[in-house]
Structure 1
Amino acid sequence: MHRKCLIIDGHQDTSVRRFARKENPESWMKRDMSYHVDIPRLTEGGQRYTGLFLVEDATATDLWTITEFLLEQIDTHPDKLMLVLSSRDAVRAGETGKVGVLLEIEGPARWLDGNVNILRILYRLGVRCVHVTHGEGGSEPTFLQGSRSVFGPCTPRDREAQRKDFVGLTPFGTEVLRTQNELGIIVDLSHANDKAFFDVMEHTTQPPIVSHTAVFSLCNHNRCLTDDQIKALAAKGGVMGIVVLPEFIDTDPQRATIDRIVDHIVYAADLVGIDTVGFGSDYDGFSSPPIVPDVSQLVLLTQAMLARGLTEEEIRKFWGGNFLRVFSQTIDKPAR
């Protein structure tokens, strides 16, 4: 069953983490258990995988360097890697046993610097997913949201109180959103504050994603989605990617298990339908031991979903079908 699924991972950080450690560019071509992800493990056992690969770290210089690194790796290893610019590319990567690479940017304010035309340049280089923020925000005209996001555990009452203080999309953020919709660049709301989240829902003309998150009702953390956010995302045809990061799955580390991940999948599916639920590991983006130890062991999650009674069709949608639909409604559109 697992090998039949096209896996689309909404977010993982291995390229940025390796860059930060100044690794040899070829290092990820070998098994290395100090990381959650490497190319051999991505396709181990016939697994078919496309991931959204992060291309920026702390500075604009890092953005260009990591983008260059990934594009060079794709050119150097055409038998193993494939640049994903469309939904068909993601399918073809799986059919040919290659790892699909979709370029993603998480902290846009620091590299756009108030100039939306840089987004058009990145589009030409192959970037197809851009976040509203990596938590940054403020009154400066270069920010896309008007106040910073909050990160950490919180009670439902605190979450509601925070919403009154958040400032949503700035004029520049609205311009960037409009340009993303125009070009066919996926809008990712993973780190957006709640006001910016709902502003995007009001103005976007294409389905957004929340690439790496979980359900707030099951784990009271600011990075998890509340029920009203999940419903709003579903109404727009968007997808939330469920993480393997323990802190987002349960406030009690002892309860952060694979079965608890399935609880999040089932909760969201019961709330709005399985079409809104996908996978977003955040592998190599955190220091805690992941619940699913590494990318070669994702079959454990498939087994847990089958044991819970999810159908093969539901599991295929979770692993990649839902993100593939969003690709077809966003990046497949010809840029205007």
Structure 2
Amino acid sequence: MVTKNKPLILDFHLDLSMNALEWNRDLTWSVAEIRAKEKGMTDKPDRGNGTVTFSEMRAGNIGLCVATLIARYVKKSNKLPGWNSPEQAWAQTQGQLAWYRAMEEKGQLVQITNLAGLDSHLQLWGNPTIDTPIGYILSLEGADSIVTINHLERAYEQGLRAIGPAHYGPGTYAQGTDATGGIGVKGKELLKEVENLGIILDATHLCDNSFWEAMDCFHGHVWASHQNCRALVNHNRQFSDEQLKELISRNAVIGSPLDAWMMVSGWERGKSTPRSTRLSLESMIDHMDHICQLAGNANHIAIGTDLDGGFGTEQCPADLDTIADLQKLPNMLAIRGYSQDDISSVLHGNWLRFLRRAWE
């Protein structure tokens, strides 16, 4: 299925390969088929509630995304789930990359690494067919799998174009959500090479100390692919107004995610439901609005859903069944007073302008 006469949407954070290899989801299936296959399974909290497949992306005219590699290395003292050595984590990302390559061979995906490829892809999506591949920009969520700086250079040659130094907990190159501390010598060495290679720094998940240290030493292009506002939901995973203003001053774009506990206050995992908390896509716009008020314009907000990033319909807006329902946003934004130009900027324009600036 392909959708005509609907605006192009860019989603700047999807864990596609994680779902394929760790959740064992064949994204060439329909959402209904995957949900039926997972009925009764309990090994993951979102079983039977997935929202993302290639067909649903096409139905929503989501022709381009940032797709991740993700593999956490955990030291012996770290109780979080993950791999016990950086080499194992690197190998996991290489397996994920192999899946992306397989999807390219199948015609489902095409990797975008430069402006020529971006322009060619956008031209295809001006009039897509059922066979038009979905574009993806490769990003690494959490840098612990980068065994040495040489591994970063190898990843760049493989198409890596964005990197988030941290994920959850303590990391090798930075400290992430629920952790504290700076980036240290290794983090500074990593960011120096990230800047040299022209890789985009993804500030998402950096704890406060690591965020400010990274901002002090990194002078390249930075975005936050999936990040909401601490002023609306008070948690260290969110960014404060001061952090958001820093990103705005650097011409960053901030993608809004759809994980319930980041969108509304008081969410209790396993107890709260989207309907009991009145969680809807309007909550996403609330966070976008807050950033617009800080910026004085709509040039820094965008979409970075993180859909199926360990959660599904049990923990996302009640008015979203699949990722295709992002097409509800244009009308909702218009009702909230956004101009047509601003709506286009939110759906794709802000991300595209950022990429053109970063890759020129």
TM-score normalised per structure 1: 0.84
Partners of 1:220 and 1:9 in 2: how far apart?
25
1:89 matched to 2:117: yes
1:119 counterpart = 2:152: yes
Correspondence list, 1:91-170, <5 A? 91-96=119-124, 97=128, 98-109=133-144, 111-113=145-147, 115-137=148-170, 143-145=172-174, 147-150=175-178, 166-170=180-184
Determine whether 1:31 maps to 2:30.
Answer: yes
Q: Is the 8 A contact 2:232 2:264 kept in 1?
A: yes
Contact 2:167 2:176 (C-alpha < 8 Å) held by counterparts: no
Deviation at 1:149, TM superposition (A): 3.3
State the one-letter code of the partner of 2:225. Answer: S
Question: Partner amino acid for 2:290?
Answer: Y
Q: Return the letter of the residue paired with 2:114.
A: S
Aligned residue among 306, 316, 327 for 1:290: 316
In 2 relative to 1, CA 100–3 (structure 1 residues): closer, same or farther, beyond 3 Å? farther
1:175 matched to 2:210? The reply is no
CA distance in 1, matches of 2:305, 2:119: 20
Deviation at 1:91, TM superposition (A): 4.3
Give yes or no for the alignment of 1:14 onto 2:12.
no
SS at match of 2:31: coil
Displacement of 1:88: 4.5
* Distance in 1 separating the partners of 2:5 and 2:194: 33
Counterparts of residues 144-293 of structure 1 (less than 5 Å): 144-145=173-174, 147-150=175-178, 166-252=180-266, 254-272=277-295, 273-287=297-311, 288-291=314-317, 292-293=320-321
Work out which of the residue numbers 309, 320, 323 in structure 1 matches 2:348.
Answer: 320
Q: Is the 8 A contact 1:6 1:94 kept in 2?
A: no
Return the alpha-carbon distance in structure 2 between the equivalents of residues 290 and 3 of structure 1.
26
Find the aligned partners of 2:224 and 2:114 in 1 and give their Cα distance.
19
Shift of 1:206: 2.1
- Does the CA-based 8 Å contact 2:255-2:302 persist in structure 1? yes
Pick the aligned partner of 1:310 from 315, 331, 338. 338
Which residue number in structure 1 is paired with residue 41 of structure 2?
Answer: none
Q: Which has the higher helix share?
A: 1
Q: Distance in 1 between the 2:347 and 2:213 partners? A: 28
Q: Distance in 2 between matches of 1:206 and 1:217?
A: 27
Structure 1, residues 51-77: CA drift from partner, whole Å, max 9, x if none?
A: 111123342221000101101211221
| Contact kept in structure 2, 1:218 and 1:250, CA below 8 Å | yes
Taking structure 1 as reference, are residues 127 and 312 closer, same or farther at Cα in structure 2, changes over 3 Å only?
same
Q: Partners of 2:5 and 2:345 in 1: how far apart?
A: 14
Among 326, 329, 332, which residue is 2:357 paired with? 329
Deviation of the 1:119 alpha carbon: 0.4
Mapped partners of 2:178, 2:222: distance in 1: 20
Query: Share of identical aligned residues, percent?
Result: 21
Cα 1:20–1:8 shift into 2, 3 Å: same
Q: CA deviation at 1:148?
A: 4.9
**8 Å contact from structure 1 (residues 89, 100) kept in 2:** no
Aligned-partner SS, 2:63: strand
- Kept in 2, the 8 Å contact 1:212–1:282? The answer is yes
TM superposition shift of 1:293: 2.7
Alignment of 1:17-96 (within 5 A): 17-23=19-25, 27-33=26-32, 34=35, 35-44=50-59, 47-57=61-71, 58=82, 59-77=89-107, 80-96=108-124
Q: Which position in structure 1 is the counterpart of 2:46?
A: none
Greater Cα offset, 268-277 or 228-237: 268-277
Counterpart code for 1:128:
R
Task: Mark the runs of 5 or more structure 1 residues left unpaired by the alignment.
Answer: 152-165
2:17, 2:96 within 8 Å by CA — same for their partners in 1? yes
SS of structure 2 residue aligned to 1:298? helix
Distance 1:167 1:73 in 2: 39
Between stretches 61-70 and 36-45, larger displacement belongs to 36-45
Shift of 1:117: 0.9
CA contact (8 A) 1:230 1:268 kept: yes
Deviations 1:134-175 (A, max 9, x none): 12436xxxx112x45317xxxxxxxxxxxxxx3212111111
RMSD: 2.0
Q: CA deviation at 1:5?
A: 3.5
Structure 1 pair 269–87 and aligned structure 2 pair: CA distance change class (3 A): farther
Instruction: Encode CA deviations 1:228-247: one digit per residue, 9 max, x unaligned.
Output: 01100001111111011111
